[in-house]
């Protein structure tokens, strides 16, 4: 494994602080990994500009990578150069979101309308007979929906263009 | 990126400050609905939009810090006095009733969505990158605002009358968003921003159909006097008390590590 591959693998241990099954790699938040001698450089793109987890994620990334053999120092940069959008979440990430009780975001074509946001399959019973209750949920990245089939409220990881 | 000439730099600095200050102040106003929203969902909506706006202010202050040599974002946000702020009067007003807050939210966020769409192609790359991100987030704010304008514009006689009167009252303030800067020509010439006048025209085209769909009547724009002055540091009586409250904890010990 190259040092870069080792870092990508290690980054899979850094999870979303609120959805502990899903890693920041699954969410598509890592846009660049580079190693120069004993120095590692990682670039992260935030899911939302106002996400309060950015600071703690930066620290967790550096802490995890510094444990790797041959790495003395890790620099984590937050950049909007590659803007995050919900299509960046991997298939495995979507599956893990579902297992954690969240509907994954529908794939979009760069443009979000109410019709796109409202489509959510219930993560509990799989039914498409659901309604969106509000596009603003307990965190910036989640909306609240209700399943008419199994009569459960659930959250969706929001589609963002 | 090529070195910025000093005029060019001054133009961008002024431009970033006014956008960031709008986000900071309206973000704080939105947060005043936390715990008071008329419905739980609306309480969460305004709280979420407050958090988004502070994130947008932070991203813009970070550009000022990293590319234009200004102080760090916290210092910029919490230590400038009223005269140094460049926000427009619209964002300074207290939250008032829900009719006013929703109308302000609709008029302001529609303008901001269009502004950041325009800026996504800006020749000033750090701003273009942030704009591409912000426009996707503000889309949610715009959809929320449109839903409620339509809902309340067509619900009961009382809701209709209140929304119409809020719209009449808020419109001159909203026109103050587009107060021209001394650097309009400079920004346009360097393809940084096509200008407040252009933005205002696009905004009028977008708000008109929503207002009509909501069964409301857009006031005669040409007959209104826009609330200008904010971009030059002249503010309403409401800004200083907000700043005093907002910086109260910070001022106890500005050097403390959080």
Contacts of A85 in chain B (CB under 8 A): 136
Any chain A CB within 8 A of the CB of B151? no
Grouping H, G, I as helix, E, B as strand and the rest as coil, residue A36 is: strand
Predicted confidence at residue B3, as pLDDT, reads: 61
Average pLDDT over all residues of chain B: 95
Predicted confidence at residue B2, as pLDDT, reads: 53
Contacts of B51 in chain A (CB under 8 A): 50, 52, 140
Any chain A CB within 8 A of the CB of B38? no
What is the distance in angstroms between the Cα of B98 and the nearest Cα belonging to chain A? 17
List chain A residues with pLDDT less than 70: none
The partner residue sitting opposite A136, judged by closest CB among B45, B56, B130, is B45
What is the distance in angstroms between the Cα of A158 and the nearest Cα belonging to chain B? 10
pLDDT, tens digit, for every residue of B57-84? 999 999 999 999 999 999 999 999 999 9
Contact across the interface for A50 and B51, Cβ inside 8 Å: yes
Rounded mean pLDDT, B89-99: 97
- Closest CA in chain B for residue A113: B143
Rounded mean pLDDT, B104-120: 98
ipTM: 0.86
Domain boundary assignment for chain A: 3-78, 91-157
Fold of A3-78: GMP Synthetase; Chain A, domain 3 (3.30.300)
Predicted confidence at residue B6, as pLDDT, reads: 80
- Which domains are delineated in chain B? 6-252 (1.20.1260.10)
Cα(B215)–Cα(B178) distance, integer angstroms: 26
Cα(A14)–Cα(B198) distance, integer angstroms: 45
Contact across the interface for A51 and B130, Cβ inside 8 Å: no
Predicted confidence at residue A116, as pLDDT, reads: 80
The partner residue sitting opposite B132, judged by closest CB among A83, A112, A137, is A83
What is the distance in angstroms between the Cα of B210 and the nearest Cα belonging to chain A? 15
């Amino acid at each position: 494994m190259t040092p870069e591959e080792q870092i990508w693998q290690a980054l899979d241990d850094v999870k979303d602080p609120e959805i502990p099954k899903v890693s920041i790699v699954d969410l598509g938040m890592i846009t660049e990994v580079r190693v120069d001698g004993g120095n590692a450089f990682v670039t992260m793109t935030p899911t939302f500009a106002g996400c309060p987890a950015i600071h703690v994620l930066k620290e967790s990334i550096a802490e995890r990578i510094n444990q790797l053999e041959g790495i003395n120092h890790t620099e984590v940069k937050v950049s909007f150069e590659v803007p995050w959008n919900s299509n960046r979440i991997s298939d495995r990430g979507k599956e893990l979101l579902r297992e954690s009780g969240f509907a994954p975001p529908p794939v979009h074509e760069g443009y979000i309308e109410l019709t796109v946001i409202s489509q959510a399959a219930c993560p509990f019973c799989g039914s498409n007979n659901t309604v969106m209750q509000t596009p603003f949920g307990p965190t910036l990245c989640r909306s609240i929906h209700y399943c008419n089939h199994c009569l459960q409220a659930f959250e969706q990881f929001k589609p963002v263009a | 990126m090529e070195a910025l000439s000093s005029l060019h730099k001054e133009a961008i600095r002024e431009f970033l400050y006014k956008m960031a200050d709008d986000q900071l102040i309206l973000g704080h106003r939105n947060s005043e609905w936390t715990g008071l929203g008329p419905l739980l969902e609306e309480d969460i909506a305004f709280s979420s939009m407050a958090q988004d706006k502070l994130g947008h202010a932070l991203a813009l202050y970070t550009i000022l810090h990293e590319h234009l040599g200004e102080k760090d974002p916290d210092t910029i946000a919490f230590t400038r006095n009223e005269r140094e702020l460049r926000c427009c009067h619209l964002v300074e007003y207290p939250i008032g009733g829900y009719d006013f807050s929703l109308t302000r939210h609709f008029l302001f966020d529609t303008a901001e969505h269009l502004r950041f769409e325009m800026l996504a192609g800006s020749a000033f790359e750090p701003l273009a990158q942030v704009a591409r991100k912000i426009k996707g987030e503000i889309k949610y704010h715009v959809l929320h605002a449109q839903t409620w304008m339509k809902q309340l514009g067509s619900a009961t006689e009382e809701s209709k009358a209140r929304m119409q009167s809020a719209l009449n009252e808020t419109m001159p303030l909203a026109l103050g968003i587009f107060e021209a800067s001394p650097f309009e020509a400079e920004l346009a010439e360097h393809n940084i921003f096509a200008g407040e006048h252009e933005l205002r025209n696009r905004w009028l085209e977008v708000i008109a159909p929503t207002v009509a769909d909501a069964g409301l009547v857009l006031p005669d724009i040409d007959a209104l006097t826009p609330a200008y002055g904010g971009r030059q540091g002249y503010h309403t009586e409401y800004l200083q008390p907000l700043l005093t409250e907002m910086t109260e904890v910070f001022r106890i010990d500005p050097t403390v590590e959080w």
